[in-house]
A and B are shown apart, each in its own frame.
Chain A
Amino acid sequence: MPDWRGYIRQHMPPLRVGPARESEIVAELALQLEQAYGDALAAGASEAEAQQRARFQIRDWENLAREINTAERQSGPRFLAGLAHDLRYSARLLARSPGFAAIAVLTLAFGIGGNTAIFSMVDAIALRSLPYPHPDRLMAIETRRVEQPEIEPWTSPSDFFDLRERSRAFSTIAGIDPIWSLILTGRGEAEQLQCLFVSADFFPMLGLKASLGRTFAPGEDRAHAPSYVVMLSHSFWQRRFGGSPGIIGQTLVMDGSPYTVIGVMPAGFHYEGEPLAGTASDIDVYCPLAANVLTGSAARGLRCLKAIGRLAPGVTAEQASDEVRRIGLALAQQYPDSNRGFAMDAQPLRAQVAGRFRLTMLLLLGAVGFVLLMACANVANLLLARAVARHREVSVRAALGASRLRLVRQLLTEGLFMAAIGGLGGLAVAYLGLKCLVAAAPPSLLQGRVIRLDARALLFATATVLGCALLAGLPPASRTVRDDIGNALREAGRGLTAGHHLLRSALVVMQVTVALVLLIGAGLLIRSFQRVLSVDPGFQAHNLVTIWTQVPRAVQTSEQRTAIYRRIHDELMSVPGVRSVAAVSRLPLMGINLGSALFIEGQSTPGVPGPDVEYRRATPEYFTTMGIALRSGRFFNDHDAPNASTVALINEALARKFFPGGNPVGKRIKLGGDLDKRQWITILGVVGDVRHFGLDIAPRPEVYTAYAANPLFSPILVIRTDSDPSALAATLAAKVRSISPEMPAYDVFTMQALVDRSTTQRRFVMSLLTGFALAALLLAGVGIYGTMSQSVAQRTREIGLRMALGSSPAAALGLVVRHGVRLMALGIALGTLAATGLTQLMSKLLFEVRPLDPLAFAGAALALAAFSLSACYIPARRATRVDPLEALRQE
């Protein structure tokens, strides 16, 4: 008797099972051979023949081992085993049709990647809680003019100190000055530093500790007795002092005053509330609030602080707001001259920070979500098309006893498998997309936030993948559930069932609907952007350079400042190519403005605070240099100098609002709160409106006072050149610095760059939404094309029969196109309805365009219709080439 066990061990490739199980299998197989051998002998075969027959039982050892290994691997819970099988099956299916797989996976990758990238940005800007301990306990306290709530709220130092004293709802309240430019001198070239003056409570309130040294002690921030101490930002410390710890205790001369360095802020610290919210400013140094000249001012009408508070334990945000409102009312009664018409309130700091971008961010997230929905619809459509092609297979499997649940699971697994691969690709897309987003986004939007793919983004991507798997896998799976087996077998040969077709058509209608909504949204933003670009800013931006400077500390008197400005003027005029030079206190479109109360002779009531108007101080040449038009009266001239404090120009908006129908030239006004001490100012002329706040913000009433009345310590120079000024900018800045080593020249911009910068955010949002809309258009086109192609393939027999009966190719073309047009028309009707509602939500983002703008609606519908028709045309053409004989033969 041969040793069959030895024979098997000798031939069988190693099995991937435990040793005990392996010897069991070997024993069982040996028994099989042994019985075959015995039977052969019994049947009269010779020894050699019997051995031959037994050996013949197993010929393909490799295959046997593989089959046993596969069978043995199906261990563990049955569901998981089935899942592994489904996954393998899905992978094989995808590998078998690489074209289909590539389209589906790429569609999903771009959809998931785009969503993850946008989510990361939106999350960092508008969703994530503030990076401070118990951020929901931080409140922003604001003072607003009741009649002009659109004016940025600032609180006066006097009100701030009173509030801090009277409030019980907050454990601490901190004040913050506007961003302040200080000039660092005595350490090489003078440098302009961005400074924030903050209360000593500011850092502990935000849970911040110095990374080196310490933060301010309460004693260093005592009103009227401040200590001149300074904390450095981490980046400034690194940049200017090479990160040397020896800086602590050293003195920095800023604006001529010596400040002792006491600490360095932690790396990456960036205060997210106002006055920094919405700006791209990087703060270099922090000083105690009391050290700022404005804070010490007794004038209650001077509003120059932002205030934040941390809620006391057990106090709710509503209770705190109530208390702040009550204190505001009490202050208005106590100090009517300065506080009447102003109201105080408090809102969560997070609302202040995220509020300004929330709508934009949600719009982008919504739009990209819609694109993903369309991508899923396309993949579902592809899966449906394939489910149709696999109908026979599915039917046979169902007939052979595969449960519905099992089949549904297989289809869902296919969706999941594709979504997972799409998700992996999506991460790569998200990584690259986020890089592009961060590079393209305006700094005022990002505000130095670190935006990257983090755990939250990955979680979002995973959720998106699961969502996609369901969205893409459910439609084909649901069909399978509803199909009954007999029906399926009957239909197997034909392919498409009416149900499938209805579902696919519904998906196409949904895609057209969504694409239209996105196209209309993008159209509205594009139209708004065009309107913004066509706005006349009120000045001629080309060939203009602006340079910020500051006169040296030693230059104190008005005459000295006039003299040094004259020197600057003459030096700059000596540069070839310079046509004119002027100075002003605030530039248009810089986002920095100053308000003052206006009192009009014969109109205003004494004791009632006048309306807020903007004011600027400008040299006589400012208007001609900027190209600002004169509407009536005259500009300033050098002869006004002796009476400079008694003359002013106003803009058209002020003339319209306060002198409607009359001629304001020669009328008298006063500016500021303390009317008795103010001089009357005569209006010399009316100048054209300038868009100081933004191209999309209507000009506010403005007063220009004469530069000579109080020459500026920090004049902003405006220089008009003969040609493109970018080449001259550096020379001009050097010219300013050459006047005194203590005079900096910073923020050197061409005016055109400022105009462009003012529209970057609008441009950014518009470009993104347009990109999404185009992606949606493409996806809708692909969806229509796919469905129409499938429909033509399915109706080949019908079309062939019609043609055999005498129908023309044109009629076949019409048959298919009509079907496409029906779906498209339904989608466009639904999309128009949806857009009518949805565009109302974005009305705040529009400029001089109504949410129901007919041009945007009609343009989007036309573009979509044209694109959809082209997508229909190719399959329709195919229908015209159907060979009637060939089609009939298929029957």
Chain B
Amino acid sequence: MILLALLEGRPRHGYELAKMIESQSDSRLQFHVASLYPMLYRLERKRLVEGKWVEKAGERRKRYYRLTPGGRRALVIHRRTWREFVSVLNSLTGFGHA
């Protein structure tokens, strides 16, 4: 869900995704190469994301991933169930009333 959410705005390449997760979570969440790339490949196989080699002026050729329509739908569903899960969790653990 995290990867899908990060790709929602625009296409990104693997290194950029790893960096974003690390920086936006204040280094509390880290995606190692051994998890990140297999996950991207899996999402690609499930046709939730699409990878494409892009060559930009003055830059090396990089593989950019973008969200497919299916990926967008999946993200909506994931967000909804996660929200439900967290609210249930909150109400169970008392955080909701805090």
Contact = CB atoms under 8 A, between A and B. Distances in A.
Interface of A: 24-25, 27-29, 31-32, 34-36, 57-60, 63-64, 67-68, 70-72, 74-75, 78, 81, 398-401, 485-486, 489-490
A486 B96 CA distance: 15
A71 B62 contact: no
Contacts of B15: 31-32, 35-36
B46 A78 contact: yes
B39 A71 contact: yes
**Most chain B C-beta atoms within 10 Å of own C-beta, residue among A35, A36, A58, A75:** A35
A400 B82 contact: yes
B33 A64 contact: yes
Contacts, number: 82
A28 B42 contact: no
Contact of A67 (B35, B81, B89): B35
Interface string B73-98: 00001100110110011001000000
A81 B89 CA distance: 32
Contacts of B92: 489-490
A29 B34 CA distance: 10
A75 B39 CA distance: 14
A29 B39 CA distance: 13
A548 B98 CA distance: 102
Contacts of B85: 399-400, 485, 489
Given A32-B14, A59-B34, A490-B92, 6 more contacts: A32-B33, A64-B33, A68-B38, A68-B41, A401-B82, A485-B88
Contacts of B34: 58-60, 63-64, 67
Contacts of B45: 71-72, 74-75, 81
Contacts of B77: 401
Given A68-B41, A71-B38, A71-B39, A31 B82 contact: no
B56 interface: no
A399 B41 contact: no
9 contacts: A29-B33, A31-B13, A57-B32, A67-B38, A78-B46, A399-B82, A399-B85, A401-B1, A489-B85
A68 B37 contact: yes
A24 B41 CA distance: 12
A78 B47 CA distance: 10
A29 B14 CA distance: 9
Q: Which 6 pairs across A and B sit closest by C-beta, in order of nearness?
A: A67-B38, A399-B85, A71-B41, A71-B42, A71-B38, A64-B34
A508 B6 CA distance: 52
**Most chain B C-beta atoms within 10 Å of own C-beta, residue among A24, A59, A401:** A401
B28 interface: no
B93 to A, nearest CB: 11
A71 B45 CA distance: 8
Nearest to B36: A32
**Most chain A C-beta atoms within 10 Å of own C-beta, residue among B14, B15, B78:** B15
A25 B60 CA distance: 16
A80 to B, nearest CB: 12
Contact of A400 (B46, B60, B81): B81
Interface of B: 1, 13-15, 18, 32-35, 37-39, 41-42, 45-46, 60-63, 77-78, 81-82, 84-85, 88-89, 92
B37 A28 contact: yes
B63 A74 contact: no
Contact of A401 (B18, B32, B78, B88): B78
Contacts of A398: 81
Contacts of A34: 60
A25 B78 contact: no
**Most chain A C-beta atoms within 10 Å of own C-beta, residue among B14, B18, B33, B42:** B33
A29 B18 CA distance: 12
B88 A25 contact: no
Contacts of B61: 27
Contacts of B18: 32
Given A28-B63, A35-B15, A78-B46, A489 B38 contact: no
A81 B14 CA distance: 25
A34 to B, nearest CB: 8
Nearest to A64: B34
B84 A485 contact: yes
Contacts of B89: 489
A28 B39 CA distance: 14
A221 to B, nearest CB: 76
B82 A29 contact: no
A207 B20 CA distance: 82
A58 B33 contact: yes
A485 to B, nearest CB: 7
Contact of B37 (A25, A35, A70): A25
A29 B88 contact: no
A67 B36 CA distance: 10
B52 to A, nearest CB: 11
Nearest to B13: A31
Given A28-B14, A35-B15, A399 B88 contact: yes
A428 B62 CA distance: 57
Contacts of B78: 400-401
A67 B63 CA distance: 19
Contacts of B60: 31, 34
A60 B41 CA distance: 18
A726 to B, nearest CB: 76
A277 to B, nearest CB: 63
Nearest to A28: B63
B42 to A, nearest CB: 4
Nearest to A485: B84
A63 B38 CA distance: 10
A847 B63 CA distance: 84
A575 to B, nearest CB: 90
Contacts of A70: 38
A255 B1 CA distance: 94
A29 B41 CA distance: 12
Contacts of B32: 57
A730 B70 CA distance: 87
A85 to B, nearest CB: 11
B42 A31 contact: no
Nearest to A70: B38
Contacts of A485: 81, 84-85, 88
A237 B38 CA distance: 72
A59 B61 CA distance: 25
Contacts of A71: 38-39, 41-42, 45
Contacts of A72: 41, 45
A172 B61 CA distance: 87
A485 B82 CA distance: 12
B37 A29 contact: yes
A61 to B, nearest CB: 9
A314 B5 CA distance: 74
**Most chain A C-beta atoms within 10 Å of own C-beta, residue among B39, B41, B42, B81:** B41
B37 to A, nearest CB: 7
A399 B81 contact: yes
B46 A74 contact: yes
Contacts of B81: 398-401, 485
A57 B46 CA distance: 26
Contacts of A68: 37-38, 41
B22 to A, nearest CB: 12
A485 B86 CA distance: 12
B37 A489 contact: no
A610 to B, nearest CB: 89
A90 to B, nearest CB: 20
A485 B78 CA distance: 14
A325 to B, nearest CB: 72
B84 A399 contact: yes
